Amino acid sequence: MIPYQFLALPIIAFPLILITGIVLIPVVSNYADHDLAEKAAQQTKLWFWSHLISGIAFGTGLLALFFYFAFLIGAANPPLANFISPLCCYWGSFTRIWHGS
């Protein structure tokens, strides 16, 4: 059994890694200005690393969700885990589809 202190690490790490990945994405303030869009598109390494870090963050989020449900089930509260688990999965799928990723 993993100590509960280690179960909190992915929960804390998920938003921090996600913020890092999002901040690295090149900003285009006006897509109608083709020069700005072209300058942002030329930063392929920055796009690559930002999306890779964001992908790692979402993987960490799934790990955090798994640890959270393991805690709920281990805390003798399976009805709550059985209710929240599908709800979170459907909501996560819906938001990913809605945002087009």
pLDDT attached to residue 86: 66
What domain range is 10 assigned to? 4-99
Q: Which of 66, 83, 63 is nearest to 74 (CA)?
A: 66
pLDDT attached to residue 98: 64
pLDDT digits (tens, 9 = 90+) for 5-43: 677 788 888 889 888 988 888 877 777 778 877 887 788
pLDDT digits (tens, 9 = 90+) for 46-89: 888 888 888 888 888 877 877 777 776 666 666 666 666 666 66
Structure tokens at 95: 């938001």
Query: Which pTM value belongs to this model?
Result: 0.64
pLDDT attached to residue 56: 85
CA–CA distance, 19 with 30 (Å, rounded to integer): 22
pLDDT attached to residue 89: 65
Amino acid at position 83, single letter: F
pLDDT attached to residue 1: 53
Say how many domains are in the chain. 1
CB–CB of 31/91 below 8 Å? Answer: no
